[in-house]
Structure 1
């Protein structure tokens, strides 16, 4: 997904403001299995996925709990670092070789002070991230693993093809054996 599409999907900016924002963004590449963000660290960058897929996870004892997948067009951010300049709780692992757009949070914060259009873009960005978080929370609290799997199939079927079943099972909060049963039931 190209940078203009990603920026426009958040909020339509005047061309001059978009140009100023794009001047602060650089393209970076990282290999599969690279740990892009680390828990217990203040993260200073925001990433937009041009190509590839990632997962967010947290460690609970000896286990890794996957709670989010990101793919082309999605944003990778530690909201706790972005909003409060505090250590985040999530790790972000690249599940494929990834092409990313990188933006320093400090540059973005400075742009917010300089241009109201960019401040509005940032507000819309934060609102969209809040809605995504709310949807994940509600799904975890009120939907069964079967319902969440069907939703994943309906809305992000490519994730099923691109992500290891162990990560999908973790995301659904079930074992791989239970995931196999769900998949058999649907077939």
Structure 2
């Protein structure tokens, strides 16, 4: 997925603004299992996935808890670092070899200051991330693991082909045995 397509998914920019933003972006690639972001560190970049899949997780003493998956076209951002310039809590691990677009947060914020269209793009970017977080929280509060798995099958079926079942089970807050039982019941 090219950067212009990703930018347009967030908010349509006039061509001149889009070119300025695209020029500020660098292409980077990292191998599978690379940790793109570490918890308790300020992350000075915002990424967009060109190719590949990532997971966000929180590390506890005895296990990692997956709470988000990103794939082609998705932004990858530590909102705490982005908004407050403070260390985030999430770790981001690449589940496949990934090609990403990266922009320095400070440079992005400078574009916001210089261009009202970019500022509106940034507002829409933050709003979409907020809605995504709200949907995730509500889903976890009001749906069963089986309902969440069904939603995953419906909304992101390719994830089930590309992500290890252990990560899917962690995302659903269940064991792999329970996930196997849910999958068997749905067949």
The verdict on a shared fold, with TM-score over 0.5 as the criterion, is yes
SS of 1:61's equivalent in the other structure is coil
The aligned counterpart of 1:144 is 144
* Structure 1 position 156 matched with structure 2 position 156: yes
Question: How many Å separate the matches in 1 of 2:169 and 2:11?
Answer: 34
How many equivalent pairs are there?
187
> Per-residue displacement from partner, 1:3-22 (whole Å, max 9, x unpaired)?
11100000000000000101
The aligned counterpart of 1:39 is 39
* Structure 1 position 128 matched with structure 2 position 128: yes
The aligned counterpart of 2:50 is 50
Cα offset, 1:79, TM superposition: 0.0
Cα offset, 1:2, TM superposition: 1.1
Structure 1 unaligned regions, length at least 5:
none
SS of 2:156's equivalent in the other structure is helix
Question: How many Å separate the matches in 1 of 2:58 and 2:9?
Answer: 28
* Structure 1 position 174 matched with structure 2 position 174: yes
SS of 1:54's equivalent in the other structure is strand
TM-score by length of 2: 0.99
Cα offset, 1:175, TM superposition: 0.1
Question: How many Å separate the matches in 2 of 1:108 and 1:8?
Answer: 16
The aligned counterpart of 2:96 is 96
Q: Which runs of 4+ in 1 moved over 2 A?
A: none
Cα offset, 1:60, TM superposition: 1.6
Structure 2 unaligned regions, length at least 5:
none
> Per-residue displacement from partner, 1:129-168 (whole Å, max 9, x unpaired)?
0000000000011100000000000000000000000000
> Per-residue displacement from partner, 1:15-40 (whole Å, max 9, x unpaired)?
00000101100100000000000000
Question: How many Å separate the matches in 2 of 1:186 and 1:61?
Answer: 33
Superposition CA RMSD, Å: 0.4
